[in-house]
Copies of this chain bind each other. A is one copy, B any other.
């Protein structure tokens, strides 16, 4: 793997099943990530995954009972474990020891999410592509992410609201709008990837937009 940022895969490979994993098994996982990301679950053939991994097709089914098992072995840990400890682990410092200012919190959040997106683009892509077609994934995603993250976030947002730093709105509404803005930033930067992109400037504008909106106050 040339991309040094994709350490999530390494973590997955090491921790998988608690036991160690053979060379071929890890190549299957890497190839599966590639093909699923390129063609989607339905469009991905196990024969192609085997070919790219340089193993016999039967080897895949020695380790994963079905093709769906293979998908889940990639995505489920990402949802259940990477989102839970890894994602939230990154957020805990922000949540448990909140910055004095809401602005500081948002800046930290932005840095944090950028780093996370950089490391995990491929799985995020697979997840976004497959979630519409797999209700189980959607359910797990929503119960893990939505419930846990939203709950934590609500506490943080309420904290700043009680301090009078941010406007008086339901926490979920606030989270939706800050989230939309961050999500839009990440989407444009990583998936649309426009040619002209002054990142420092875009980041600062995003922060200022969240804080003060777009209308001129004079």
Contacts and interface: CB of A to CB of B under 8 A. Distances in A.
A177 B173 contact: no
A102 interface: yes
Contacts of A181: 177, 180-181, 184
A68 interface: no
A43 interface: yes
A174 interface: yes
B211 A215 contact: yes
Contacts of A42: 39-43
A208 B166 CA distance: 13
B173 A202 contact: yes
Given A42-B43, A133-B40, A173-B205, A216 B166 contact: yes
A40 B132 contact: yes
A214 B133 contact: no
A92 interface: no
A185 B178 CA distance: 11
What is the interface of chain A mostly: helix, strand, loop, or mixed?
Answer: helix
Contacts of A209: 177, 213
A169 interface: yes
A18 interface: no
Interface in A172-215: 172-174, 176-181, 183-185, 187-188, 194, 201-202, 205-206, 208-215
Contacts of A4: none
5 contacts: A39-B42, A125-B132, A167-B208, A172-B194, A211-B213
* Top 10 A-B pairs, shortest CB-CB distance: A180-B184, A42-B42, A213-B213, A212-B213, A42-B43, A211-B215, A177-B209, A211-B213, A180-B180, A173-B205
